[in-house]
């Protein structure tokens, strides 16, 4: 059996990995620690390591893994902005990812955030649990006929477009690689910002997309625009978002990700003092809905992630070429 070091392991990870790994000849060493240059030492005796979005595979971490004999790094996610692919190549570590696990799961969560904010069902839920059935302050908006601007029409973005069309929204989109023939109107970014009642982000985090929704972008949007982000937190300048929520320029925001989420998301920090003032203030706003990076979290997605990750590792151990291996020159496709 080939042994792998499985970083940042959660109980929901183990269900499908325990079911699938033995048949592929893989033994898993589950670690609660997140991968970084210090915890890399925990992979001693393993030929491969498995990581998630909160782990860090920078040059020091990869160098430490390589020194221990680790030859492969399997990401159980699609995004890889937290991995230095060039450093992995220099340290002779093959990197694999899961390019698509359940696009519908993430797209449905984005739509759930939008519908919840539009109809204020999160507020109604809190009230009725306290036997308060007043409708005062619960007036919502009807999304039918409104324009949603979708940034990134890869697998998730395309699903989201189709769902929005299904509830009668007008869809416009921006993507460097348009998908024609799907009934989507592609426009320039400046036009998308100007025309959209709702903006939803479905693209990877790269140096080019970092803070793409910037302070200047907020100046260009409609008054009262809704912002939805289920991709990567750093696509949005969080302080600029907060300022525009406070000014009323942004009508509501649904965030499943946050640019400084690493210290908080995936963990119970309810008894700790949170030092991130921007996140604290976002959480305090009545028109902001934050979930803890859970858009991927469905039974179907967890199974698909485990299946692809185990197969990526099997390919590595058997010396078989995998289409999911990342190379330094690989371009980032929209998620």
Catalytic residues: 232, 261, 293
Given a contact cutoff of 8 angstroms between Cβ atoms, the answer to whether 142 and 325 are in contact is: no
Residue 146 three-state SS: coil
Given a contact cutoff of 8 angstroms between Cβ atoms, the answer to whether 265 and 245 are in contact is: no
What gap in Å lies between CA 28 and CA 211, rounded to an integer?
37
What gap in Å lies between CA 272 and CA 69, rounded to an integer?
38
Residues 6+ apart with CB under 8 A from 19: 306
Which contacts (CB < 8 Å, 24+ apart) does range 205-211 have? 205/79, 205/81, 205/231, 205/232, 205/234, 205/235, 206/81, 206/332, 209/235, 210/234, 210/235, 211/235, 211/236, 211/237
Query: Number of H helices and number of E strands within the chain?
Result: 11, 13
Phi, psi of 251 (to 5 degrees): -75, -35
Give the DSSP H or E segment for 158: helix 155-166
């Amino acid at each position: 059996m080939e042994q792998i070091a499985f970083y940042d392991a959660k109980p929901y990870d183990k269900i499908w990995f325990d079911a699938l790994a033995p048949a592929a000849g893989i033994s898993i060493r589950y670690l609660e620690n997140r991968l970084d240059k210090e915890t890399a030492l925990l992979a001693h005796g393993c030929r491969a390591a498995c990581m998630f979005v909160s782990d860090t595979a920078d040059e020091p971490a990869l160098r430490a893994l390589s020194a221990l004999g680790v030859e492969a790094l399997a990401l159980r996610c699609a995004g890889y902005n937290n991995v230095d692919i060039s450093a992995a190549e220099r340290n002779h570590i093959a990197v694999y990812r899961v390019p698509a696990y359940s696009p519908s799961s993430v797209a449905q969560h984005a739509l759930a955030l939008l519908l919840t904010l539009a109809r204020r069902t999160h507020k109604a839920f809190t009230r009725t649990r306290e036997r308060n059935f007043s409708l005062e302050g619960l007036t919502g908006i009807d999304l039918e006929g409104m324009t949603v601007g979708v940034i990134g029409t890869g697998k998730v973005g395309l699903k989201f477009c189709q769902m929005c069309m299904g509830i009668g929204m007008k869809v416009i989109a921006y993507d460097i690689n348009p998908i024609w023939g799907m009934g989507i109107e592609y426009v320039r970014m400046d036009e998308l910002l100007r025309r959209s009642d709702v903006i939803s982000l479905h693209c990877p985090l790269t140096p080019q997309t970092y803070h793409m929704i910037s302070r200047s972008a907020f100046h260009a949007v409609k008054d009262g625009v809704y912002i939805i982000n289920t991709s990567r937190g750093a696509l949005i300048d969080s302080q600029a978002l907060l300022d525009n929520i406070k000014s009323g320029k942004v009508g509501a925001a649904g965030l499943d990700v946050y640019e400084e989420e690493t210290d908080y998301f995936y963990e119970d920090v309810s008894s700790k003092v949170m030092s991130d003032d921007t996140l604290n203030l976002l959480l305090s706003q009545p028109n902001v809905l934050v979930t803890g990076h859970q858009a991927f979290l469905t039974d179907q997605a967890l199974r698909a992630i485990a299946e692809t990750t185990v197969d990526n590792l099997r390919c590595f151990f058997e010396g078989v070429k995998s289409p999911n291996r990342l190379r330094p020159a690989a371009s980032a496709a929209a998620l």
